Amino acid sequence: MFMQSLPGFRDFLPDDCAKRNYIFARWREVARRYGFLEWEGPPLETTDLYKKKSGTEIVEQLFNFIDKGDREVALRPELTPTLARVVAAHEREFKKPIKWFSIGQFFRYEKQQRGRLREHFQLNCDIIGEKNLAADIELVALCIDVLRAFALTEKDFVVRISDREFWTDFFRGNNVPAERWADLLQAIDKSAREPREKTADKLGDFADPVFATLKSGGKSPKLEQLVEGLRARGLADFVTIDVGIVRGLAYYTGVVFEVFDRAGKFRAIAGGGRYDNLISQLSDGTLSQAALGFAMGDVVLGELIDEIPVAREAMRQATADDRRIAIYVVVAKEERRADALAEVQQLRDRGYRVDYPLTPTKVARQFQAAEELGARIALLYGDEWPQVKIKNMGTGDQELVAHNGLLAHLQAQYSLSS
């Protein structure tokens, strides 16, 4: 029996890594296009950080333990509490609004199921220090554009937008005691995924008005304004107002949104919203900063890319090129190995991706390796020395070049982008 990995944890073989790097590259590229700067926090935090801020569901899913210094610690299940902690400590050093993104791995002790593992990667994008709805519009636009970078369209995914203030106003209007708000929000959050009776039980006396509001969709001028802002950018077809979205995390205060595939096959691709009180809570009231952000996971996104042919093809093309080498050095005569290796070194110094056989190998096998590795050219070191034979692996054309002019010749005649 081979040792198994833990349930919910993935091994990333080279193909999986290529796909992951493709996802990370798109994430990074679009976040930078929006002027966001990359940052990172630690993978381990004090358990308290999450107990206080994330809400009960995530605390039940913590990977936590006591470390050797008797500290209660947890692998991070999300980035937002860390961000709030870091901003509270360093806020003065940065001009507002702060626009930061981060790509990292997160851990939740969830029941393993399609789209949900015990580790996953997230892109987090957050804006700190801007109350205006313009920031919410910018953030949702960024989220849409990140997904568009994977060749996904409005036919493939939808951003469901809501507002927690819509519900807190509703609670006030219906005289719901404030201490019940959090529970009711949780029940509304789960209502689409749970049997109606279970939700009704949790809502108690307020079941009827809540169900009626969910059915009618409610009205929110703020959300309509948000959609108008996206319409001005040509992105309105990607969003829909859905007050049934309230998000599971405890700290959200205003606009919230979640992204789903249009076909409704998968779990949420991304989610986020405003958390204007979190930084103040984490700094015990000494600092108050408006904040909003979202996170997109790699697991569901990967599933969706595999599902949509155009997106899958875009990924295949991008990753196929990524894996190719440029040059395969064929050592046709072992006496030439030292000369060949000297050139391998020079070619690699120039930035080309170069491979060669580590041990004596039949020439036919070497060409086979060149093909398998996707080499654009093969360089043959044999009887022709001090000339080197260049074989174009695409066309089969061959030519002889003096070895001391080889680098210049390759640069001038071949596009071997490294």
Residues in contact with ligand HAM by the rule CB under 6 A: 78-80, 108, 110, 116-117, 120, 122, 124, 126, 249, 268-272, 293-295, 297, 299-300
Closest CB to ligand HAM among 126 and 163? 126
Q: How far apart are the first and last CA of the chain?
A: 42
Closest CB to ligand HAM among 58 and 187? 58
**Closest separation in Å from C-beta 253 to ligand HAM:** 11
Instruction: Report how far residue 143's alpha carbon sits from residue 164's, in angstroms, rounded to the nearest whole number.
Output: 19
**Which tokens is 131 given?**
């109350």
**Closest separation in Å from C-beta 112 to ligand HAM:** 9
**Closest separation in Å from C-beta 295 to ligand HAM:** 3
Q: Parallel, antiparallel, or unpaired: how do β-strands 72-75 and 44-46 relate?
A: antiparallel
**Closest separation in Å from C-beta 86 to ligand HAM:** 13
Closest CB to ligand HAM among 120 and 391? 120
Closest CB to ligand HAM among 10 and 333? 10
**Which tokens is 8 given?**
């919910």
**DSSP string across 282-298:** HTTTS----EEEEEEEH
**Closest separation in Å from C-beta 269 to ligand HAM:** 5
**Closest separation in Å from C-beta 35 to ligand HAM:** 17
Closest CB to ligand HAM among 78 and 138? 78
Closest CB to ligand HAM among 121 and 352? 121
Count CB-CB contacts under 10 A for residue 351.
Answer: 11
Q: What is the DSSP letter of 43?
A: S
Closest CB to ligand HAM among 10 and 337? 10
Residue of minimal Cβ distance to ligand HAM: 297
**DSSP string across 311-380:** HHHHHHHHHHHHH--SEEEEESSGGGHHHHHHHHHHHHHTT--EE--SS---HHHHHHHHHHTT-SEEEE
Q: State the virtual CA torsion across 393, 398, 403, 407 in degrees, nearest 10.
A: -50
CA distances (Å), origin 58, targets 105, 109, 111, 252: 16, 9, 13, 14
Closest CB to ligand HAM among 291 and 329? 291
**Closest separation in Å from C-beta 34 to ligand HAM:** 15
**Closest separation in Å from C-beta 244 to ligand HAM:** 15
**Closest separation in Å from C-beta 8 to ligand HAM:** 8
44 contact partners, CB below 8 Å, separation of at least 6: 73, 74, 75, 76
Instruction: Report how far residue 295's alpha carbon sits from residue 286's, in angstroms, rounded to the nearest whole number.
Output: 27
Beta bridge partners of 126: 100, 293
Instruction: Report how far residue 349's alpha carbon sits from residue 345's, in angstroms, rounded to the nearest whole number.
Output: 6
**Closest separation in Å from C-beta 293 to ligand HAM:** 3
Instruction: Report how far residue 341's alpha carbon sits from residue 132's, in angstroms, rounded to the nearest whole number.
Output: 61
Closest CB to ligand HAM among 80 and 366? 80
**Closest separation in Å from C-beta 218 to ligand HAM:** 22
Count CB-CB contacts under 10 A for residue 104.
Answer: 16
Closest CB to ligand HAM among 100 and 166? 100
Closest CB to ligand HAM among 32 and 231? 32
Question: In degrees, to the nearest 5, what angle opens at C-alpha 24 toward C-alphas 101 and 299?
Answer: 100
| 30 φ, ψ (degrees, to nearest 5) | -75, -40
How are strands ordered across the β-sheet holding 354-355? Answer: 354-355, 327-331, 377-381, 387-392, 398-402
Contact 76, 40 (CB under 8 A): no
